[in-house]
Amino acid sequence: TVTDTEAEVERFRNAVKIFCDNTAAQADALKASAGKKEAEILEGHIQMMKDPYMCGEIEKLIDNGQCAEAALEYMCDMFISMFSATDDELTQQRAADVKDLKTSMLSILLGVKEVKLSAAPKGTVVVAKELTPSMTAGIKPENVAGIVTELGGKTSHSAILARALEIPAVVAVPDLMNQVKNGHVIVLDGSEGVVYVDPD
pLDDT at residue 54, rounded to an integer: 95
Q: How far apart are CA 127 and CA 147, in angstroms?
A: 6
Under 8 Å between Cβ of 147 and 126: yes
Among candidates 42, 49, 45, which has minimal Cα distance to 17? 49
Q: What is the pLDDT of residues 114-128, one digit of tens each?
A: 777 888 899 999 999
Q: What is the pLDDT of residues 5-51, one digit of tens each?
A: 999 999 999 999 999 999 998 888 888 877 787 788 889 999 999 99
pTM higher than the cut 0.95:
no
Report phi then psi at 12, rounded to 5. -65, -45
Q: What is the pLDDT of residues 128-163, one digit of tens each?
A: 988 877 787 778 889 999 999 998 877 777 778 788
Q: How far apart are CA 145 and CA 147, in angstroms?
A: 7
Q: pLDDT-derived band of residue 103, with 50, 70 and 90 as boundaries?
A: very high
Q: What is the pLDDT of residues 43-61, one digit of tens each?
A: 999 999 999 999 999 999 9
One-letter amino acid for residue 90 of the chain: L
